[in-house]
Amino acid sequence: MPVGLIALALGGFGIGLTEFVIMGLLPEVAADFRVSEAEAGWFISGYALAVVVGALALTAAVTRFERKPVLAVLLVLFAAGNLISATAPDYWMMMAGRVVAALSHGAFFGIGAVVAAGMVPPTKKAGAIAIMFTGLTAANVLGVPFGTMLGQAAGWRSTFWAIAGIGVLALAGILALVPRTTDDGRASRAAGDPSAADAPSVPGARSGSGALASELRAFRSGQVWLSILVTILGYGGMFGAFTYIAFTLTEVSGFAPGAVPWLLIVFGVGLFIGNAAGGKAADRNVDRTLLVVLSVLVVVLVAFALTAGNQPLTITSLVLMGGFGFATVPGLQMRVMKYAEGAPTLASGANIGAFNVGNALGAWLGGVTITAGLGYTSPIWAGAGITLLGLAVMAFAAAGAKRTDGLRRRGTAPQSGAVSAATRPADVKPAVTR
């Protein structure tokens, strides 16, 4: 395993901790700034919206630059945002800190996924992306509970000071361990990883080749758009069920409120296992993996909604929901990069934004069902419906890709310059020379 992946995972850990730890500290933050819990909730919503903006605008702005220094600058921005939060004298300065930190989120994961994939052979790309996202899952399993305990024991600001410190450590790791790219797009052996020079070139990694116009051409592919839509629906369904899980666990399953943090750790263990297994499976066959995982996730969500009143089955459902929900992440990220070959950076960043759009969609729809008086299992049913729709889109996308592959094997497919944008497979080179 290239050691640079550890630095990327550490950055992902810090960013994931910034996103999620605020949920456990909202009462303390609200009390300190003398605002309602609903107003404090905008520290979560504002962060998510800023992630989408950063994933698109900031990624687009830096596509022409070499990726390693861009990742370093993004971590500086991340650390600065958390320092602002840690020292914020009022509500709006705290919000500014959240937004500054969030702007780096989408661009870091989007660009980092491309860098991670370029550090390993083609057969291990999804696994490399999964390693980077391990930082995000570890943030849920370990970071959020301990970050919450630190904030409750030493004041909520101490948690953000600690997160800023993690950002500095990740910055040092990026500078020391992540390889630069040479003129032919390969990772440089001199950059800190002796095996890096043997890795295949990253599409679009050549210095200066990631110009915005070239990156935008990736969005001519219908498969890129279908992949982004699957991300919104497939991941949004799981997150919609998860957003209101505390209410489900206490009001339906009958757990004591004090048990909720430990149950969330159980959910996080599922995330960790699903991320690793999903990455390995996607390396073998991305589309088949996504079809199977999304199908099982629908079944898991339906079973959870039906058995939420049973505590042992609820614990099992939490593990399976986290596992199959996050098993989609490496494959979803890999698929959009696959069909944006030659210019994957902006498409990768857009897909990170799509995860957050899915978060917002699932949370909104779950809230609508609760407001309508449908009960605290209704967000799980809503999540199952959204995921089922994502599965249908994925089946349509996979069928289109398979049909084009079949035509190419028979020698009847159009030449690469005329291949339908909706179904162009990754190994057909774009018509535009770069």
- Of the pLDDT bands very low, low, confident and very high (cuts 50, 70, 90), residue 253 is very high
Average pLDDT over all residues of the chain: 79
Give the burial class of 311: count Cβ atoms within 10 A of its Cβ; 0-12 exposed, 13-18 middle, 19 or more buried: middle
Q: Is the pLDDT at 251 greater than 80, yes or no? A: yes
Structure tokens at 244: 């209101």
How far apart (Å, rounded) are the C-alpha atoms in residues 399 and 392? Answer: 11
How far apart (Å, rounded) are the C-alpha atoms in residues 403 and 241? Answer: 34
Structure tokens at 75: 């971590």
Q: Give, as one character, the DSSP assignment of residue 311.
A: H
Dihedral sign, Cα of residue 179, residue 125, residue 75, residue 186: positive
How far apart (Å, rounded) are the C-alpha atoms in residues 122 and 365? Answer: 38
Give the burial class of 29: count Cβ atoms within 10 A of its Cβ; 0-12 exposed, 13-18 middle, 19 or more buried: buried
With CA atoms as reference, report the closest residue to 230 among 289, 290, 279, 320: 290
- Judge contact between 276 and 134, C-beta under 8 A: yes
Q: What is the pTM of this model?
A: 0.69
Among 86-90, 384-388, 421-425, the range scoring the smallest mean pLDDT is 421-425
How far apart (Å, rounded) are the C-alpha atoms in residues 240 and 136? Answer: 18
Structure tokens at 293: 């995982």
Per residue in 316-356, pLDDT (tens digit) is 999 999 899 889 888 888 888 788 766 666 777 777 778 87
Per residue in 20-69, pLDDT (tens digit) is 788 767 778 888 998 875 577 678 778 878 888 887 777 777 777 788 88
pLDDT for res 199: 43
DSSP secondary structure of 165-232: HHHHHHHHHHHHHSPPB-TTSPBPGGGS-TTGGGSPPPTT-STT---HHHHHHGGG-HHHHHHHHHHH
**Mean pLDDT, residues 268-284 taken together:** 86
**Mean pLDDT, residues 154-168 taken together:** 94
Helix (H) or strand (E) holding 262: helix 260-284
| The residue to which tokens 């018509």 are assigned | 431
Q: Is the pLDDT at 75 greater than 90, yes or no? A: yes
Q: At what angle do helices 328-339 and 311-326 cross, to 10 degrees?
A: 20
How far apart (Å, rounded) are the C-alpha atoms in residues 114 and 203? Answer: 9
Structure tokens at 239: 């997150």
Q: Mean pLDDT highest for which of 34-48, 172-186, 263-277, 417-431?
A: 263-277
For the chain, the residue count is: 434
pLDDT for res 64: 73
**What does the buried/exposed string (b/e) look like for 267-297 if buried means 16 or more CB atoms within 10 Å of the residue's CB?**
bbbbbbbbbbbbbebbbeebbebbbebbbeb
Q: Is the pLDDT at 192 greater than 50, yes or no? A: no
Q: Which residue has the higher pLDDT, 333 or 433?
A: 333
HEC per residue, 269-300: HHHHHHHHHHHHHHHHCHHHHHHHHHHHHHHH
How far apart (Å, rounded) are the C-alpha atoms in residues 335 and 160? Answer: 34
Beta partners for residue 392, in sequence order? none
| The residue to which tokens 């404090």 are assigned | 40
How far apart (Å, rounded) are the C-alpha atoms in residues 180 and 167? Answer: 20
pLDDT for res 357: 82
How far apart (Å, rounded) are the C-alpha atoms in residues 392 and 230? Answer: 9
- Of the pLDDT bands very low, low, confident and very high (cuts 50, 70, 90), residue 116 is confident
Beta partners for residue 181, in sequence order? 187
Integer-rounded Cα radius of gyration of the chain: 21
- Of the pLDDT bands very low, low, confident and very high (cuts 50, 70, 90), residue 387 is very high
Percent of the chain with pLDDT over 70: 81
Among 149-158, 364-373, 408-417, the range scoring the smallest mean pLDDT is 408-417
Beta partners for residue 187, in sequence order? 181
